[in-house]
Amino acid sequence: MDYIKLTPPLKNDDIEKLKAGDRVLINGYMFTARDAAHKRLVELIDKNENLPFDPTGQIIYFVGPAPAKPGQVMNSAGPTTSGRMNPYSPKVIAAGLKGMVGKGEMGPGVVEAMKKHKAVYMVATGGAGALIANAITGSEIVAYEELGAEAVRKLTVKDFPAIVAQDCHGGNIFIEGVKKYKRE
């Protein structure tokens, strides 16, 4: 099975082609945000204020990266539990977000937002944060530096590996299993 290459900003056509179980490699850049940052983003959306980055067509990686050692861009960058973003993700998706990467299943409200606005949820391998960090070639803080590991960052990535877990068609590897979606 081949990997599907994704380079944000993503369009509806890019998302509609993805199916649960597809393996992807993300290139270019994506943003990081966990629950504390998501809460702030949604507060700005609710106030109709500008976000610290334009989410249109972008991917957010749910991660709290470990501080880099000298000579590293990032020490470890394993995915965090995505369910904590369930209260916030529908509004960020409605604001233009096209992809999310984390671990664990997203809830029904997020699934409905993904169907309505053409977005996708992908998983990265938990426990492989040091290995995943090798795909990150650059990192800069975009907002909320005071949140430390939960600050919003813009990551430059090369062949960042993920698996489509929940697609915009309702496909879900957590319910139906990976084997159903395996493409030959």
Q: Which residues contact 102 (CB under 8 A, 6 or more apart)?
A: 61, 62, 63, 79, 80, 81, 82, 85, 121, 123, 124
Which residue in the block uniquely carries the two structure tokens 């068609």? 169
CB-based burial, 32-66: b 16+ in 10 Å, e otherwise = bbbbbbbebbbeebeeeeebbbebebbbbbbbbbb
Residue from 15, 14, 9 nearest 116 by CA: 15
- Known catalytic membership, residue 38: yes
Round to whole Å and give the CA distance between 108 and 105.
10
Active-site residue, selected from the candidate residues 38, 91, 118, 153: 38
The answer to whether residues 105 and 114 touch, using CB atoms and an 8 Å cutoff, is: no
Q: Which residues contact 175 (CB under 8 A, 6 or more apart)?
A: none
Round to whole Å and give the CA distance between 119 and 117.
6
Give the residue numbers marked as catalytic: 38
